[in-house]
Structure 1
């Protein structure tokens, strides 16, 4: 007891680690708040200061990289006299991570603190044994819970009950029977999708039709390609429930899930699509996919790299543009941009042969070389000392205001803990402080860039390096891979714009006016 009292007397500043499980029933954000209140009240009663580390995830995760807050705590461990938790299992229910925490606590002589006990892992062997035993029990409990949960889902699936996450669009789940029932309003959209696909239309065309006619997906947003493909492939619509028994494995250093068994139960619930119709439509889908595999243009990664690989972006929607090789001509083309805008309409930025864009890019690079030389000469003849002094003063002022807002945020947390403010008042003030902080940080970033630009030596060196890289282009030759690598040394993005007028958007691509419609580019340099 005397030893424990000695350890406790040395504790002044603790890290409070809070974790609630994604898997455990009854645990939610309110649980996290309760645990936070309990531990912060206890720390305050002991006269300890604290820093919070909070996360919502399974304690059984096997890789510490999947536990960012715990990882951050262990990095900061030297700053604290102890690590405070609700119970030992909150640190981890995985033996490997538990041992990592134990080793850090031993190395830095940092005890683990609960309200009931202080575990002096660096000095008391019994505490180490208790910690390890508790970790073992928690790990076994997690494993058993996982197995029980999976076995329960398998048993329910075999009874025709739906246990696979979100309720499929077109259905509603009866919580009493745990079976799916048809939601007639959304089921009409499912039937329409299958009808269109059965008539030979692909996912792109179906998406355009649905969005043009004002239909909305399960999320209330316009339909997209992946959601339509998932609907067509999903056997739930022919009345079948499916449960994939998966195993978590590591492949090439990353965790993935491998199917070890698939359980299917037919006629588990009312079908929106008749079995024969579902099979027919999916036979069409498979046949289309096989045909496309043979005839469709292949990605540039399979047919050769172009000089503009990974550099082309849509000026209309900002997404990366796809480049494909035409099977007949053997030429690479920028594909029409098919991404959806927020209003559900396709972007529609028209494509073009890559060669034309490459030629314009090289012309622009030649032009920018002259502009860089002129800018270097201007900078060398400009005195920026007064401008620099003014920006430094502005930065100092902004830094002071940021510090004041961060203090206000800390004060707000204290007021919340003490219950002085209501939840609505806290939320309102937090929103105000966060908005002000974001604004100040954006202003600081802008001023920092301006300050860097007033440093003529730094800017001149940067521009001179860019000139050197551009000059080296001549020695690269015509090899597209080498040219692409070199362009990426000084070009970040190329924004391409070829939005056709309405009267041209629907005419044949062989129409000479459409074919010769101009395009523009904007180059974003490093």
Structure 2
């Protein structure tokens, strides 16, 4: 019998979750036992077991499946064990084609308890593709049923979201299917505070969203996820009718678009959506909620100007070293020059003149160039030697794998001869499988390191000339060109400043700027 190096792929479907809810046991554990028994019966060497917890429609939403496909395409496995072919792909015809092509071109078998599919066998290929087609059809039927069920629940005033909004907890309805919301006292008071500050203000003076954020953050009040308050978070609360006791559903449907051959998803605001009385208690009155809507509608967001001219050469590059936000340009007033500041109002990171930060960034790039030139010869020799050593290590591990494969074959012979008991065979087989898996892991890691170092050599040879070109021409370029070239070379730069400069020392660089170039450092 041929010794196949295989992996096991386990994925939980919606039907599995329903079965678990009925008390039929944990699905992935049951499937794992079935496939391990199959591998034992057929003498396969199981190198890895992959478990997909998420139930994604497409391959892009299933990271474990992406990893399996990468390994299949690289020829890492002789076969993949699944309980049924439908577990591999339930996406559209493009996703199904990606899966079929990966297995066909890598000549990787798809092994199920009922049948082994050889993608290079014409009849097996047709059977496999038909199975994926039926799986897709079943998926659409299930999805239509679930969508209709959620819509029906929303019309009944039940809460259909997977996560509760700030101010509420999600609770199961008693005696019937579905969920509703229950106010969280401490958070509910914060929601009331936000609405009252926005509508009534303090001492008759209304407070905007930015000032509300600052007040909440200065008071040490955290968001649901423990983060800081921002204008979009406050606006989301003010716009959400759930706080007035209503249920809104399908207000932002996912709309798919094709852009450069890739599927992108947007969620525009819909005009036709479900808005009904909810079965949960309101936190604010409908009158207060409507007053907030009137004020928000009087201050709409400014439309994007297609003729917008970039004025910050460091746009998107400099990040605040204290809160992580992208630093922004502040337009000059009077005789002052442009400033670079953290947009987050409660952050105490001190701003600096934009030209000073610009100069510090260029000085840092110059240091990178000088450091490379100083050590360039030594680095090239070091990398070449390192690659040669890793290639020799890979050859050693491949020889070790050959020895282990022969050892595994002998274990099966000893089992058939009755020299090994079943328990002893399983113990030794697992140990051999672990050694084989460890060898594969080391080889994969070494190959990744070789690839990384080869890319690194290429990057170093191309990165430095680009830096030199930027340094030579930077001050002759317009703002947009400066930003474009800096983005090609710099991943980010982290800015930190703790104290303001004195009036006489206004042009001193008294901040730190940690630069992260796109060239990878060893």
TM-score strictly above 0.5: yes
Question: Is the aligned partner of 1:262 residue 2:273?
Answer: yes
2: CA distance between counterparts of 1:322 and 1:183? Answer: 36
How far the C-alpha of 1:206 sits from its partner, in A, is: 2.0
- Which of 158, 162, 166 does residue 159 from structure 2 map onto? 162
Aligned to 1:285: 296
User: Where do 1:12-161 residues align within 5 Å?
Assistant: 12-21=4-13, 25-26=17-18, 30-51=26-47, 52-58=49-55, 60-61=57-58, 67-77=65-75, 79-80=77-78, 82-94=79-91, 96=93, 97-107=95-105, 110-123=108-121, 125=123, 127-128=124-125, 130-161=127-158
1: CA distance between counterparts of 2:311 and 2:54? Answer: 41
How far the C-alpha of 1:161 sits from its partner, in A, is: 1.1
How far the C-alpha of 1:202 sits from its partner, in A, is: 2.8
Aligned to 1:413: none
Tell me how large the CA RMSD over aligned residues is: 5.2
User: Where do 1:326-337 residues align within 5 Å?
Assistant: 332-337=338-343
- Asked if the contact 1:469/1:489 (under 8 Å) is kept, the reply is no
The 3-state SS of whatever aligns with 2:121 is: coil
Residues 75 and 466 (structure 1 numbering): CA distance in 2 closer, same or farther, change over 3 Å?
A: closer
1: CA distance between counterparts of 2:134 and 2:482? Answer: 59
Aligned to 2:287: 276
- Which of 251, 257, 270 does residue 250 from structure 1 map onto? 257
CA offsets per residue over residues 108-143 of structure 1, 9 Å max, x none? 554432112233454363x45543443333222211
Aligned to 1:520: 511
How far the C-alpha of 1:103 sits from its partner, in A, is: 4.7
CA offsets per residue over residues 370-394 of structure 1, 9 Å max, x none? x93x995x769x9999x979x979x
- Asked if the contact 1:210/1:223 (under 8 Å) is kept, the reply is yes
Query: Please, which runs of 5 or more residues in structure 1 have no aligned partner?
Result: 1-8, 340-345, 408-417, 421-432, 505-510
How far the C-alpha of 1:32 sits from its partner, in A, is: 2.6
Residues 195 and 251 (structure 1 numbering): CA distance in 2 closer, same or farther, change over 3 Å?
A: farther
Residues 463 and 303 (structure 1 numbering): CA distance in 2 closer, same or farther, change over 3 Å?
A: closer
- Asked if the contact 2:72/2:108 (under 8 Å) is kept, the reply is no
TM-score in terms of structure 1 length: 0.68
Residues 352 and 288 (structure 1 numbering): CA distance in 2 closer, same or farther, change over 3 Å?
A: farther
The 3-state SS of whatever aligns with 1:349 is: coil
How far the C-alpha of 1:306 sits from its partner, in A, is: 3.3
2: CA distance between counterparts of 1:368 and 1:180? Answer: 57
1: CA distance between counterparts of 2:467 and 2:86? Answer: 59
Aligned to 2:210: 204
Q: Which deviates the most, 216-225 or 62-71? A: 62-71
Work out the number of aligned pairs and report it: 454
Aligned to 2:313: 307
Q: Choose between structure 1 and 2 for higher RCO, CA contacts under 8 A separated by at least 6 residues.
A: 2
- Asked if the contact 1:78/1:108 (under 8 Å) is kept, the reply is no
CA offsets per residue over residues 454-510 of structure 1, 9 Å max, x none? x9xx99x89984784366227x62533334445567666544333336xx9xxxxxx
Residues 60 and 23 (structure 1 numbering): CA distance in 2 closer, same or farther, change over 3 Å?
A: farther
Aligned to 1:6: none
How far the C-alpha of 1:10 sits from its partner, in A, is: 4.4
- Asked if the contact 2:332/2:338 (under 8 Å) is kept, the reply is yes
CA offsets per residue over residues 233-271 of structure 1, 9 Å max, x none? 111001110110735422423331555841110354321
2: CA distance between counterparts of 1:214 and 1:11? Answer: 62
The 3-state SS of whatever aligns with 2:149 is: helix
2: CA distance between counterparts of 1:229 and 1:482? Answer: 35
Residues 469 and 87 (structure 1 numbering): CA distance in 2 closer, same or farther, change over 3 Å?
A: same
User: Where do 1:404-419 residues align within 5 Å?
Assistant: none
Residues 499 and 11 (structure 1 numbering): CA distance in 2 closer, same or farther, change over 3 Å?
A: same
Aligned to 1:429: none
1: CA distance between counterparts of 2:328 and 2:306? Answer: 8
The 3-state SS of whatever aligns with 1:37 is: helix
2: CA distance between counterparts of 1:349 and 1:106? Answer: 56
2: CA distance between counterparts of 1:100 and 1:230? Answer: 39
2: CA distance between counterparts of 1:138 and 1:260? Answer: 34
2: CA distance between counterparts of 1:129 and 1:366? Answer: 57
- Asked if the contact 1:500/1:517 (under 8 Å) is kept, the reply is no
Question: Is the aligned partner of 1:192 residue 2:193?
Answer: yes
1: CA distance between counterparts of 2:195 and 2:280? Answer: 19
2: CA distance between counterparts of 1:210 and 1:59? Answer: 37
- Which of 225, 233, 256 does residue 227 from structure 1 map onto? 233
- Asked if the contact 2:171/2:182 (under 8 Å) is kept, the reply is yes
Aligned to 1:239: 245
Residues 336 and 23 (structure 1 numbering): CA distance in 2 closer, same or farther, change over 3 Å?
A: farther
1: CA distance between counterparts of 2:271 and 2:99? Answer: 33
The 3-state SS of whatever aligns with 2:476 is: coil
CA offsets per residue over residues 185-227 of structure 1, 9 Å max, x none? 3211211111122212233322332233333333355544443
2: CA distance between counterparts of 1:384 and 1:163? Answer: 58
- Asked if the contact 1:207/1:224 (under 8 Å) is kept, the reply is yes
